[in-house]
Amino acid sequence: MKPIFKFSVLLTIAGLLAVAPGCKREEADFIGPAYISAPDGFAVTAFTATPSSVDFTSGTVAFNASFTHSVTWILTIRGEVSGAVYETKGIGNGFSNLIWKGTHTGVIFFRKGENAVATLSFYGTSLTASSTVNIVNVRNFAAYGYLPLYGDFENFINASYGPPIVYSPYWAHFNFPNPIPNVEQGADSNLLDYNGNIVPSVQGKQYYYIRGLGNQQVFVSGVQSHSNPPSLPATPDNVWVNMYIYGTGDPNAGVEIEYQEDDIDGDAAGYQGDDDDAFVARITLDHKGWKLFSFQYSKLTPSLNAAFGGSGNKIHEPDRIKSFDLVLVKKTNPNSPIEVYFDFPIITVGGPFDPSN
C-alpha cells in the first residue's frame, strides 16, 4: 500500500500549503496552476465509467462525474497487473464524457486482459471514488509509426534455434549461429538484473535482452532488425527513432543504435557496411528503470567505423533505411559484464513517439 501512503503525504503537504500563514488569497497574483481544495461537506455524487469493458482497438471509455463543490480533481487510472498509469486533472464540480483512449502518461503500457482502476482524488480530503474497467484489448500503438516486425517481442518463436536463443525471422542475433563467449540474449520477461531486481515488462509481457561480458574490450554483442520499413519521409528533420530501454544505473553499460541506409549513390542494392551510411544514437545506460529514448533522425551522427557504416555518403536519408542494429558496448571497464533490456523500437513521423496522446 506504499503508493497510497505516498499520496497521503502529498495530500497532507498540499493541505499544509493551503493553510500556511502568509498565503494571501489574491488569485490574480497566483502563479502556476490554481489548486482548489475540497471544503468541508464535499462529496462525490456520481462517478461512472462507460463501458466497463473495452476493446481499445475500436472503442474508448467515457467517464462522468459530479461533485457537490467546484474543486481541483485528479483522475488516475492504474493497470492492476502492468502498473501502467494514465493521469489527468481539472477544476470543476464534475465532468462529462471525459474520453480515455487507452493511452498512458507514465512509461509503462496498459496490458491486454487486465483491469484498470480509475480513481478520483482531490486536494484537502482523503475522500476518493473509483471505478474499474476491463481492458479486452489494448490500444494499437504500433499504428503511431513504423514498428519493425516482431518489434514488440511478444511472439518470438522458439523455432529450430531452441533455447536459450529465442528466434524470430526479421531479427538476427549476433551470437547465432556462432556463439559469443559469456553472452546471453533473446526475448524474455521477469528476468533478474545484475542487482537482483526483477526487470518488469514495459509493453506487453516480453522485451529483448542482451547481457554478459563478451570476449572483446568494448563490444559485447548485438541484434539486427532487418524488416525493411515502408516508405518514410526523405526529410530527416521529420523522422524520429524511439525505443524503450531499461537501465540499472551502470555507467559501464552503453548501447549504440545504428540505423542503416541503402545510400542513393551506393554501389549495390541494400545496405553494405563499407559503402553505405549507418547513423548512430549512442546511449549510456546510467538511468534506472525503463525510459523512452527518442532522437530526431537528423541529429544522429555517422558511424565512426569505416567497415560498418562509416563509409557512406554522410547524407541522412531516412527514406532509405533498411535495417538497424542495437550493439551493447562496455564504456569504462572491459572486465565488468553489462546488460540491456529494450522494447518497442518504433520510428515516428512529425514528432517523437507519444503514447499519452
Quote the least distance from Cβ 311 to Ca ion, whole Å. 11
- Kindly list the residues in this chain that would bind Ca ion in the complex (CB under 5 A): 152-153, 203-204, 206, 261-263, 266, 268, 272, 276-277, 312-313, 315, 317, 343
Q: Which of 73/339 has CB closer to Ca ion?
A: 339
Quote the least distance from Cβ 344 to Ca ion, whole Å. 6
Quote the least distance from Cβ 33 to Ca ion, whole Å. 35
Could you give the count of Cα atoms lying within 13 Å of 10 in the half-sphere of its Cβ?
10
Task: Give the separation between CA 150 and CA 159, rounded to whole angstroms.
Answer: 14
Task: Give the separation between CA 80 and CA 85, rounded to whole angstroms.
Answer: 10
* Angle ∠(89,93,95) on CA atoms, nearest 5: 60
Q: Which of 277/325 has CB closer to Ca ion?
A: 277
Quote the least distance from Cβ 81 to Ca ion, whole Å. 14
Candidates 211, 201, 313; CA nearest to 266 is: 313
**Residue 246 CA to chain centroid, in angstroms?**
9
Quote the least distance from Cβ 44 to Ca ion, whole Å. 37
Nearest residue relative to Ca ion (C-beta): 266
Q: Which of 75/108 has CB closer to Ca ion?
A: 108
**Residue 99 CA to chain centroid, in angstroms?**
22
Q: Which of 301/336 has CB closer to Ca ion?
A: 301
Task: Give the separation between CA 223 and CA 246, rounded to whole angstroms.
Answer: 16
Which grid cell is 18? 493551503
Q: Which of 206/248 has CB closer to Ca ion?
A: 206
Whether 15 and 124 have beta carbons less than 8 Å apart is answered as: yes
Quote the least distance from Cβ 285 to Ca ion, whole Å. 18
Which grid cell is 83? 502498473
* Beta bridge mates, 223: 173, 326
Q: Which of 94/145 has CB closer to Ca ion?
A: 145
